[in-house]
A and B are shown apart, each in its own frame.
Chain A
Amino acid sequence: MFRHTRVWVVAAAATATMVAAGCSSSVQKSSGGDRPTGTMSIATGVDVDLDECPNTWSNDVGVTDDKVKIGMSVPKSGALAEVGDLADGVKAYFDKVNKEDPVDGKEVTFDIRDDAYDPARTKSNVQAMLSANDVFAFLYVVGTANNKAVAPLMQQACVPHVEGGTGDLSLTSHPDKNPWLQDGLLSYTSEAELWCDDIASRFDKGATVAYLLMDNDFGEGYAAGIDACEKKGTIKVVAKQRHAPSAPSITNQLTTMASTKADIAMIGTTTSFCPQALSAINAAQWEPTVYLSTTCARVEGTFAPIAPAGDETLIALTRKDDGDPQYSDDEAVNMAEDLRKTSGVSGGGQFIDGVRMAMYLEYALRTAAEMDGGLTRTNLLKVMWNSDFANPLAVDGVTYKTDGVNDPLLYDEVRIGEYQVPSGESKNGTFKLEDDVLTTVSAR
Chain B
Amino acid sequence: MLKKWSVRSRALVGLAGLVLLVLPYILVNSPTFVVAGNTIALGTDTASYAVVAAVGVLSLVLLLGRCGQLSLATGFFVGAGAYLSMIFTIELHAPFPVAVVGAGVCCGLLGALLGLPALRIRGTYLALVTITLAAVFPALVRLPAIKEWTGGSNGLLLPGVPEAPDWLPIADAPRLLGRIPVIGPFYIGDRPLSSAQAGTVWTYFAVLLAAGLVFWLVAGITRGRIGRALTATRDHEVGSAASGVNTARLIVTTYGVSSAVAGISGGLYAAVFRIVAPETFGLTLAIYLLFGLILGGQRSAWGAVIGGIAVAYLPFLTGSIQHVPGIPARFLSGPTASLLLGILLVVLALLIPGGVVDPERSARRRRDRAVRATKDESPPHDGPTMGEEPSASPMTSNLSGAERSATTMIAERNGHQQ
Which A residues lie at the B interface, using CB under 8 A?
1-4, 6-7, 10, 18, 21-28, 54-55, 76-78, 81, 84, 87-88, 91, 111-114, 116-121, 123-125, 127-128, 131-134, 144-145, 148-149, 156, 215-217, 220, 244, 343-345
Contact = CB atoms under 8 A, between A and B. Distances in A.
Contacts of A10: 356
Contacts of B334: 76-77, 81, 84, 114
Interface string B63-99: 0000000000000000000000000000000000000
B31 A23 contact: yes
B186 A25 contact: yes
Nearest to A244: B139
Given A26-B32, A116-B279, A343-B330, A76 B335 contact: yes
A132 B32 contact: yes
B155 A119 contact: yes
Nearest to A121: B280
Interface string B97-124: 0000000000000000000000000000
A344 B329 CA distance: 12
B172 to A, nearest CB: 16
B357 A26 contact: no
Contacts of A77: 334-335, 337-338
Given A2-B12, A145-B154, A216-B152, 8 more contacts: A25-B31, A26-B30, A112-B333, A124-B273, A128-B320, A131-B41, A156-B196, A217-B154
Contact of B319 (A91, A114, A344, A345): A114
A416 B362 CA distance: 74
A118 B82 CA distance: 15
A113 B33 CA distance: 17
A127 B277 CA distance: 17
Contacts of A144: 154
B194 interface: yes
A441 B357 CA distance: 62
B155 A120 contact: yes
Contact of B153 (A1, A84, A215, A343): A215
B188 A27 contact: yes
13 contacts: A1-B357, A4-B357, A7-B357, A26-B32, A54-B194, A78-B279, A113-B333, A124-B45, A124-B273, A127-B45, A145-B154, A148-B154, A216-B154
A128 B40 CA distance: 9
Contacts of A132: 30, 32, 39, 41
Nearest to A69: B39
A63 B68 CA distance: 55
Contacts of A1: 300, 302, 357, 359, 362
B186 A27 contact: yes
Interface residues of B, number: 54
Given A76-B333, A124-B45, A149-B157, A6 B277 contact: no
A389 to B, nearest CB: 27
B199 interface: no
B275 interface: yes
Nearest to B174: A27
A165 to B, nearest CB: 15
Contacts of A18: 33
B326 to A, nearest CB: 16
B122 to A, nearest CB: 29
A22 B155 contact: no
A104 B31 CA distance: 30
A121 to B, nearest CB: 7
Nearest to A219: B153
Given A27-B187, A117-B279, A128-B320, A55 B194 contact: yes
B222 interface: no
A279 to B, nearest CB: 25
A436 to B, nearest CB: 34
A145 B277 contact: yes
Which of A2, A88, A113 is most buried by chain B, counting CB atoms within 10 A of its CB? A2
A21 B37 CA distance: 10
A250 to B, nearest CB: 15
Nearest to A144: B154
Given A120-B280, A121-B280, A216-B153, A26 B194 contact: no
B333 A215 contact: no
B356 A123 contact: no
Given A10-B356, A128-B320, A217-B153, A91 B32 contact: no
B399 interface: no
A3 B10 CA distance: 12
A24 B154 contact: no
B356 A7 contact: yes
Nearest to A112: B333
Given A148-B154, A343-B330, A118 B279 contact: yes
